[in-house]
Structure 1
Amino acid sequence: MGGNKDKKARAKEAKADKKAGAKAGKSDGVRAAKAGKKEARSARKRDRAGVDPAALIAEARAAAFTDEAPERAFAHFRPLAERVPAADLPVFTGQPLLMRANVMAALDALDPHLPAAVSALREPRLKEVFELPALVMALDFSAARVPVATLSAGEIDRMLAEGAPWRELMLSYLEVASHPLLGLLPRERVAAVRAGSGKLDKARDFVALPGLFAEFSGALAGKHPFPADRLDLLATLGGALVQQVRPGNAAAAVPKRTEEAILRDRIAALVAERYDHLQVLAAVALGKRKADALLPALRAAVSLGSNGAAEAQEDATAEAQDGAPAEAPESAPAGMTDG
């Protein structure tokens, strides 16, 4: 009996020792893993401390695809665009050449602040940002491949209804801001937007209102409640509608979305994503508020900034006249009726 008891005791002790050893080994493993992660973080910090931001910027510029010839840019970016999911893909209704003007203005504004952004970010998306001008020209070429289409009467009405509340809010605000007691902008400019009626006039108002906010951005900065994306939305809606609404013309049915249109919309999604990267760089370097004030909205009808809103429109128009491919219209000239 005594021998059996000793045997059981030794087995129990061995089991306890094994359990304690396993626990100690596990603890050692956890400690080793933590130490490894800490060392990796320290190594990254040492690596970052030894990297010259200017060298990283130069390396990214050299690696970026910057050929703005529309057909070559389209061929380069097409494989990447074809991997963009088509589900819930927004229909692109913007103007690529105006987007290019905004991209160029944003890149120029960001350039002096790039070293600060690179120093603060672990993996700054520089190459993607530097490729934006070429990517926008790929979008312009892709838009030209889309068969001419028109919006249905119902789509026209939905777009007008989407922009109508913002049109009224912005007009009401600008009427107050242009009052002689405030004089933030000329009263007659606001009155000209308010005048008129009908679908075509409202569509033109959608374009004109963001233009006024951009043109008088110096006087209105910090004094109005309208986010840049709402101004951008109104300008985008207006840009699409003014191509579709024509006095006295009958409505035409909208055809099915084509493969060319889907590819165009995929490239547009890539442009929007990369412009987000550009905005991140600016926000990291300057803070979000200053970055928002510095950079134009991607699809705004006019560029914001010190050079004035009209310059973006004029530059884009001049490029088209000098031989750069202009955006193919989303619709035939005979779009929807005004009334």
Structure 2
Amino acid sequence: MVSEYEKTRLANIKRNQELLVSLGIDSPLLEPKEKPRKKNPVVKKRKLPESTLNDGESLPPTKAQRGEVSDSAPASSVRRSTRNAGKLVDYKKEIIKDSPIPVAYSSGVKTSENTGPMGREDGPRKYDPKTYGSIPGIEVGTWWETRQGCSADSIHAPWVGGISGGKQGAYSVALSGGYDDDVDLGYAFTYTGSGGRDLKGTKAAPKNLRTAPQSSDQTFENTFNKMLLRSCELKKPVRVIRGFKSRSKYAPAEGYRYDGLYRVEKAWLGKGNNPKGYMVCKFAFKRLPGQPPLLVRDEDEPGKLESIDYEETDNKIDKEDSPPKEGNPE
């Protein structure tokens, strides 16, 4: 038995997919797949043999002894290594404010399935994220372990919010799961706007600000929805990042990836996929031509993708809605 919620979800998905196809998706004939890298083998530490010393014998020291610091060493509260004892060292000059690559990756302890360049995870911004279009030095396919990294490299400023923009439209959006009836075809996708949820939460779950159920209609008067509506009117390019939480095959297997520039082609108000049928703001994005092809996630990877057979779904819904034939049990 197909529930009403599932019927609405599948119908919305089909309608959204047809809309995206009607926009004309310029997808390549061959799409490169993410190439998983081999994980480094875990090295097990050997247990030291139990001591067989006789009574009265002491174990050899397991820690290097601290050397004597020369009287000529400068007095300071800064803790120094013994290898620098007696030397004048300006420790302030050794402070590195930028961290281009996390130590876990640069040291080889952790490997990634992403094949694109890795962005910074911290440090001061080099460019203003309040920019329409691309950011200098950040190529399509660059990825980050966290949303903080996307913000540090000015691709998508907010650490949590999905929409960033100004009076002339959105600068960037993040795809990371979102509404389950949205469709992501890679080179075009539908996106549900903001608002319609009680941000105060409930007594039982006072902190469910972003997971609270829809409790009112969304409108284009909402600040973020107004940004995307303005993008649709002015056709300014919008930067798009995809996150690992999305079920789309175009989402990265881990972290967050910059997938280039898109344009908002259409904005409309429609019935949302919620029990009370509250209205939601919807947007259709299309990728700008002339950019590197998108990577696709390996479909053999378990638990990552959700494939939907639309023809089979239509048959299932039609069967559920149609009255039983004479002579057959209900």
- Mark yes or no: TM-score above 0.5: no
Structure (1 or 2) with the greater helix fraction = 1
Asked which structure has the greater RCO (Cα within 8 Å, sep 6+), the reply is 1
Structure (1 or 2) with the greater strand fraction = 2
Q: Please say which structure displays the higher CA radius of gyration.
A: 1
